[in-house]
A and B are shown apart, each in its own frame.
Chain A
């Protein structure tokens, strides 16, 4: 029963009841309700438990400022930690409170309240640090509550992103934002105006005001209609401008845009100008037990009464330090709700304010010292501010107003400065850093007529037209005298309801030396909740200022960061989801591989590649063994197309390769190639590859698969910035060539059987050379390189020819038992040979000598990238990690990355295992490792220490477990 629904009024549709559940109980509300207003209409006051102490909490605000009640939405569009005041009611909505179990009324975590005095700020930092935080984290996280992330993405909709350009972006469609958009739109600017609310109007929706002698909402409706009729204006509803980034780039997320099938749409807007017409947010007051359910922001009370037709209480007390709450008292009285008293901390109440509440009792110079009641408010104790006799007033609603903070979040995000204004007792936008200006209450124009004029002036200024006249709009003059906290308060005085931060916590932080407001924030967590302290941060600044005896401007604010309100991951990702997030790259053989039952891997740079080809019922390791053995004993073939490939040409190409590789390339004859290491300026290995000379000025160069883009960028940067007068052109041709690499002792026979006009004899076509010709009737380039340690022919063809070539190879190789080879077997073969792999042995910390490849460092060349740095570093003689082979004894697998420690003791590591494979050549597990001073330790034993303390002894060997002289690959 909606017992607390007023008989009439509100912008709800009483003909459209909506059913919903909260914490498992069924209720009804109306279209136009938020979950918060519907709960209040149903008399639900206890809606949450607090984060740390599990104190009972209710609904405090009416919009994005809500600090107390977060809910988790259940069902198809599950999402966690939504402020209850921002959840639009819909049929079948199911929600539950966070931070409590099983319910806010029966919360087993509430025992924390008993221990509250032992959990001051910094308690967790001080207490749960030995042996480390991670031991305690899981159970503390569980106790701390907040909703978990949904287990699966929401169904029944998707997210998308749009890009937009606008001459003017207006954030907020309250009175000033609408005015700004109206005059800029009329002047012909491309205007985008976004408002976070269900409908435009901002604060006008919650108040009873007039513009030009007619109801203000009539003016809103007319203005919205005019804006929507303009082709150059885009009006977004339910759309929050949540980030203001560099160069006037803003992010706007629109919830449930009109067309079906979209959950949220994020607009990425580059604006010529931005007007932040974001309004103002009311702040709370700080007194004892100021968190009891029934203590609400006065503006929220006004919103529930006027906009939603809800009575949040039957007997109200108002507690304020400013005039705005007097309009709330008047609206409550008009709705038939008893106002027991207006407690005003100021001694002098303006006559205009008194006149707004005829007949209501006003206690000037009084404060509320404490609120009474547990799960709901039962009364308050009031006393003269300067001391005197206290008195208890019964009430079930306390509407508090500590004044108003202009919502400077976006302005501050844009890096504009803030200045403290004494007359408004709040921070206002100062100097703009981008094409930004604030308008309306966000600029400190707190009364309606001033806000309208401010918006009109801002819009006209951007449009370059004369500021128009704006209509009359009477409003109670705003006057405030700050009251950062009630000093005679009794009970816990909360500054940040969401994170349970009290005045005592701030004082503790100051005593312990956290003397700036940024440090206070981090130590107490004040302002670090989902609400980002929208109602409470100013009181923290005030509390610090009072304690330190310095002005507010000197204390300042904490940094306003994006997002302004919580944003879902889906809204950030948009359509970049699943396979679209980072599309795979395919070679021409993906379909064949999948048809053969290959288990597909990613082989760096998003290339899809077969990992191994299991036969029915065959275990993974057996399949890998079979493929690797085929290469060692017979013949195998793999698709090497993803390998990064570049064509480099130009007068200075040879000189350039000499500059970027450690070996001498320029002496190569056409058709010959050489292996080289590419170093960074600091003398560490960046990549390795082979360079083949095609003719005097043309080369083919390879790079690691996953590093191809970085190598390309590196070469281009050198050529474009450091060496602009060198005549060299780099063309990535990775996808212009596809290849099948036949490898194994029988590779030459298979290639001969395919039919080729190239002389395959070792004398005519030696290792590390390249020949162009015909293979199996297809134009091809054969390269004799080897990544397996066996005789290999890399047959490069146009990608469209690869499937045909592949079929011919499989047919020609069948009599020799040819097998397709996946990347797992390739890994076994390269580890047996001690060949490098980027990300394994080459991890950005090693130089060529560390890997036993000092021979690749040319001494002939006076200079090349990295040479000097390697020399300087090696001259220090410091111990280095050096590459070795390891043989586990006993014969067991060792996980990649496992540390080696001296004697296997619990000590700092002396190296780590980079790879460990089941060798088919040795029929046992072998590996590679980077170990301190490894080259001098061949033959010694070392020890791998696994998680849990298990120790495995390994024999250190040279880093080549097979054919160390390379006779087979040269054969």
Chain B
């Protein structure tokens, strides 16, 4: 049960959050992206052994989505979230 820093509410327990998965590259422009690249964007999800950038939603709190870095080996939150200020 992690303690997740919400930029609006402060550190809150994991059960208040919904997991949003690892952050993928920005959605490419379909007009200028080759099919193979599109399929790659769609299917290749980051899954590193170590820090991963991922999204969480403070669902049972303020409702905001936040982005942070979590080390998949230790669950330590090693970066972020981007602060509101």
Chain A 710-726 interface residues, beta-carbon cutoff 8 Å to B: 713, 716-717, 720-722
Smallest CB-CB separation from B1: which chain A residue?
A249
CA distance A245 to B74 in the complex (A): 11
Picked from B23, B29, B64, the residue with its CB within 8 Å of the CB of A720 is B64
Given the complex, which residues of B lie within 8 Å of A255, measured CB to CB? none
Verify if A807 is at the interface (C-beta below 8 Å from B).
Answer: no
Smallest CB-CB separation from A864: which chain B residue?
B30
Verify if A830 is at the interface (C-beta below 8 Å from B).
Answer: no
**Contact, CB under 8 Å: A867 / B2:** no
Verify if A74 is at the interface (C-beta below 8 Å from B).
Answer: no
Known contacts: A247-B1, A713-B57, A717-B57. The answer to whether A872 contacts B27 by CB under 8 A is no
Verify if A868 is at the interface (C-beta below 8 Å from B).
Answer: yes
Q: How many chain-A residues does the 8 Å CB contact rule pick out?
A: 22
Query: Helix, strand, loop or mixed for chain A's interface?
Result: helix
**Contact, CB under 8 Å: B30 / A716:** no
Smallest CB-CB separation from A720: which chain B residue?
B65
CA distance A721 to B57 in the complex (A): 11
Interface centre among B1, B18, B26, by most A CB within 10 Å? B1
Verify if B78 is at the interface (C-beta below 8 Å from A).
Answer: no
Verify if A774 is at the interface (C-beta below 8 Å from B).
Answer: no
Known contacts: A863-B30, A863-B31, A872-B39. The answer to whether A716 contacts B1 by CB under 8 A is no
CB distance from B12 to the nearest CB of A (A): 11
**Contact, CB under 8 Å: B31 / A717:** no
Interface centre among B23, B26, B30, B67, by most A CB within 10 Å? B30
**Contact, CB under 8 Å: B74 / A415:** yes
CA distance A87 to B10 in the complex (A): 43
Given the complex, which residues of B lie within 8 Å of A245, measured CB to CB? 1
CB distance from A572 to the nearest CB of B (A): 13
Verify if B61 is at the interface (C-beta below 8 Å from A).
Answer: no
CB distance from A413 to the nearest CB of B (A): 12
**Contact, CB under 8 Å: B1 / A868:** no
Verify if A603 is at the interface (C-beta below 8 Å from B).
Answer: no
Verify if B85 is at the interface (C-beta below 8 Å from A).
Answer: no
CA distance A863 to B38 in the complex (A): 13
Given the complex, which residues of A lie within 8 Å of B38, measured CB to CB? 868-869, 872
Given the complex, which residues of B lie within 8 Å of A268, measured CB to CB? 1
Verify if A890 is at the interface (C-beta below 8 Å from B).
Answer: no
Given the complex, which residues of B lie within 8 Å of A717, measured CB to CB? 20, 55, 57, 65
Known contacts: A245-B1, A415-B74, A717-B57. The answer to whether A862 contacts B31 by CB under 8 A is yes
Given the complex, which residues of A lie within 8 Å of B27, measured CB to CB? 681, 722
CA distance A721 to B24 in the complex (A): 11
Picked from B14, B57, B75, the residue with its CB within 8 Å of the CB of A716 is B57
CA distance A872 to B43 in the complex (A): 13
Verify if B42 is at the interface (C-beta below 8 Å from A).
Answer: yes
Chain A 144-195 interface residues, beta-carbon cutoff 8 Å to B: none
Verify if B80 is at the interface (C-beta below 8 Å from A).
Answer: no
**Contact, CB under 8 Å: A716 / B42:** no
CA distance A720 to B81 in the complex (A): 13
Given the complex, which residues of A lie within 8 Å of B9, measured CB to CB? none
Picked from B26, B42, B67, B74, the residue with its CB within 8 Å of the CB of A433 is B74
CA distance A139 to B20 in the complex (A): 44
Smallest CB-CB separation from B39: which chain A residue?
A872
Verify if A746 is at the interface (C-beta below 8 Å from B).
Answer: no
Chain A 694-720 interface residues, beta-carbon cutoff 8 Å to B: 713, 716-717, 720
Residues of B within 8 A of A (CB): 1-3, 13-14, 18, 20, 23, 26-27, 29-31, 35, 38-39, 42, 55, 57, 59, 63-65, 67, 74-75
Can you add 10 more A-B contacts, CB < 8 Å, to A246-B14, A249-B2?
A246-B1, A247-B3, A270-B3, A716-B65, A717-B57, A721-B23, A721-B67, A862-B31, A868-B38, A869-B38
Closest 8 CB pairs of A and B: A249-B1, A246-B75, A720-B65, A247-B3, A868-B30, A246-B2, A245-B1, A247-B2
Residues of A within 8 A of B (CB): 245-247, 249, 268, 270, 415, 433, 681-682, 713, 716-717, 720-722, 862-863, 867-869, 872
Can you offer 29 A-B residue contacts whose CB atoms are under 8 A?
Answer: A246-B2, A246-B14, A246-B75, A247-B3, A247-B75, A249-B1, A249-B2, A249-B13, A268-B1, A270-B3, A415-B74, A681-B27, A682-B42, A713-B18, A716-B57, A720-B64, A720-B65, A721-B20, A721-B23, A721-B67, A722-B26, A722-B27, A862-B30, A862-B31, A867-B30, A868-B30, A869-B38, A869-B42, A872-B39
